[in-house]
Structure 1
Amino acid sequence: MVTLLVATTSDPASINPANALLAMPRWQPGPHFQDDMKSFVNEGVRLLLHGNSIVAEDDLDKRWEQVTREVVHEVIFFSKHTAVSNKPALTVHPIDVLPQGGRPGWAALPNPRMGPWLRLLKNIAQAHNVVPEFEITLEATHHGPLTNKPTMFLEIGSTEDYSKRQDAAQVMAKLVWEGLGLGGGTDIGNWSREKDNKKILLGIGGGHYAPRHMDVALKDNVWVGHLLSGYSLPMDDPSQSKGETNAEIGGTWRHSIKAAYEATKSAFPGGEIFAHLDHK
């Protein structure tokens, strides 16, 4: 089984960490996938480069399996982060649940590495002196592309200038290098190898940057599943008439929570999921 890393040449926050990772030892040209895509191999890791929008290439994991006959264990995307605050940030987040896009009724399996890697990212960023300038943060579940295996995004932002920062790219590259044990160390956050610490956070409510959920996620014995911000839990129900005054509270929030819970449960077999609520 292989880890599929994905980067796009159209985004410096994506290709710069990929290039920094490729500058590390033992990378070799990988299997031919598509004429417009390149791949590289390092042990059980496959780094795939393409020139399209990072969120536009659906089912890359399934397509990789069909072409190479290699089974994909997980998917990790390098990408840019944008925010109206324009503050520099290094972020980790799971992807896509209704009503924010994707396939109706679908939520990607969250990558179990998110909690352990968030803590590792904070340590690496401190060692490279990019904090406190860059904020280290979780983001709530949002955007695609569609995937079929446990997935997470690693992002640099929030402006174009920050996205191009080579020191931030080096931090993200080292996060992957150390997190996957490519330097001969421990493979961090591999759920299938864990026997203890089976508590998984399902965050419900709060803002997009989930600071209260993050306080919980930074604890050593917590794993991170989906994080649903308040804006992804609308109370309006399209099946109810707008003029109906005695309608029960319903809406697509029920569907969003169910999809997020089921995806988190599938990503952490045998784990104990607990909901952490934020009233914002």
Structure 2
Amino acid sequence: MLGIVVSRADRASEHVGDRLRDLVDWSPVDAPDHPDAAGPVYRTDGAQLREFDAWHLHLNDAADAFPAELDLLVFASRHSGETGPLLTAHHTGNFGPAEHGGEDDALARACPNAHSRVLDALATHAPEDYEVGMECTHHGPTDVGVPSMFVEVGSGDPQWDDPAAAEAVARAILDLRGVAPDADLEPASAEVAGTGADTVRRHLVGFGGGHYAPRFERIVRETDWAVGHLAADWGLDAMGDPAANRDLLDAAFTESAATHAVVDGDHPDLRDEIAALGYRVVGETWLRAVTGVPLALAARLEDTLVPVEDGLRFGEPASESSPDAEFETVSLPEDLLDRAQGIDQKRTRDLLAAHALAFETEENGNRVAGRAAVASRGDYTTVIDGIVDLLRTAYDAVERREDAVIAREETFDPGKAKTLGVPEGPKFGRLSAGEPVEVDGTTIPPDRVRSEREDRFSL
């Protein structure tokens, strides 16, 4: 069940509340007492709404004001700033002193999956001149009772009174009915399992960067990872020494149901403390590489081959495999691979991506190198067959044997041309291009100055 909080102290929130009531049918239901609540609870399919006199930032235990057990609570709110027309969403809490509600050094339970979904919904419903973005964790409340977030209209009076903006936020909030606050669980990798966790969610905690978080927004939009709490640079400054605030760091992961982090910037002390707590710092390349790939399988492939940061890339079969899928490691024939990539590097890489679970690369993942992991020897055979087909585009004949690939081509032989008295220069070029030339009244056909060359590539 989705709970929606509307604050009468915030006219943007009231406008969103009005649009919510216009868009679907609501019925009043009996509500428990709450010191800050105003009026009944209104209920529609999958959601409940209640108004409060107090500012959202200072509400405590807001989930207790609803009669049904909630899975997710959304605060409809205004956003203030010098950012123009903006629809935004963020989690709440304080990485340091509580200057605007909540408790010092305390974080509300985040809702990473719902947060990702509401960003998509805001982008779908936003009026044409509005941007959509995400913010770092800031302000109260910190005691909510269920996973929660703020969804906001910004950034000044014209937008707070804009019916189109209020309706966009209202529609985005209604789209959250039936949406789980967290991503699905999946088996943990050995690394995470070593901390005692048997399962993991694709949730991140973010550290560093500005108040508005384009890097983390990009991660949400372009990978299958969601972002929980996010401590911007100013939040890290407010927190202080990571070693002296390990409980708060640990809470950022606990309240985000996360085991991974992305750190924007160097912050070596922070990285050390995160590792000491048993969590893993990863980069965008890793997130993109493992998108769609079972994390336990990705970890096993990294352990067997090389880490993603050293060039490992996953193929399409990895996305279709189980976390405990079996595989074998094969060494790719170096000379054959080099020749194939000299002919068509992209096609060679695409062959590996289509048939291998994972493969090693260099040159920022563009060039295949070294070894691969395949689900069966048949997949390796398919890759070699594909490379043989690629060689046929550059050679006159290609033969695959058990231990080698033999490629043959006829090429222009300068030595034969000289023997026949052809002078170097334009006539060499014409013969090389397959045209006959005349020398001292004699026509020299191109086939008289060609020789067969054979390349052998061991398997």
Residues 84-233 of structure 1 mapped to structure 2, 5 A cutoff: 85-101=82-98, 102-111=102-111, 112-125=113-126, 130-131=127-128, 133-145=129-141, 146-180=143-177, 187-191=178-182, 194=184, 198-233=201-236
Q: Matched residues in 1 for 2:164 and 2:10: separation?
A: 16
Aligned match of 1:58: 60
* Cα offset, 1:251, TM superposition: 6.1
What amino acid does structure 2 have at the position aligned with 1:11?
Answer: D
Q: Matched residues in 1 for 2:138 and 2:224: separation?
A: 25
* Cα offset, 1:72, TM superposition: 2.2
From the superposition, tell whether residues 104 and 10 of structure 1 become closer, same or farther in structure 2 (CA, over 3 Å): closer
Aligned match of 2:273: none
From the superposition, tell whether residues 115 and 251 of structure 1 become closer, same or farther in structure 2 (CA, over 3 Å): same
RMSD: 2.5
Q: Matched residues in 2 for 1:159 and 1:273: separation?
A: 37
Note the residue ranges of structure 2 that are not aligned, 5 or more in a row: 187-199, 267-459
Aligned-residue sequence identity (percent) comes to 24
* Cα offset, 1:279, TM superposition: 1.8
Higher relative contact order (CA 8 A, sep 6+): 1
Q: Which moved more, 1:102-111 or 1:225-234?
A: 102-111
Aligned match of 1:245: none
Preserved contact between residue 203 and residue 228 of structure 1 (Cα < 8 Å): yes
Q: Matched residues in 2 for 1:173 and 1:5: separation?
A: 10
CA deviations 1:79-118 (Å, max 9, x no partner) are: 11011x2412100000003314222442111113001221
* Cα offset, 1:219, TM superposition: 2.3
Aligned match of 1:30: 29
Larger Rg: 2
What amino acid does structure 2 have at the position aligned with 1:40?
Answer: Y
CA deviations 1:39-59 (Å, max 9, x no partner) are: 200123110112221212211
User: SS at 1:201's partner residue?
Assistant: strand
User: SS at 1:90's partner residue?
Assistant: strand
Partner residue of 1:274 out of 260, 268, 274: 260
* Cα offset, 1:226, TM superposition: 0.8
Preserved contact between residue 98 and residue 255 of structure 1 (Cα < 8 Å): no
User: SS at 1:218's partner residue?
Assistant: helix
Partner residue of 1:71 out of 57, 69, 72: 69
Residues 252-271 of structure 1 mapped to structure 2, 5 A cutoff: 254-265=246-257
* Cα offset, 1:20, TM superposition: 0.7
Q: Matched residues in 2 for 1:24 and 1:18: separation?
A: 10
Aligned match of 2:17: 18
Q: Matched residues in 2 for 1:27 and 1:86: separation?
A: 34
* Cα offset, 1:73, TM superposition: 1.7
Aligned match of 1:48: 50
What TM-score, normalized to structure 1?
0.79
Preserved contact between residue 232 and residue 253 of structure 1 (Cα < 8 Å): no
Aligned length: 245
Q: Matched residues in 2 for 1:117 and 1:17: separation?
A: 15
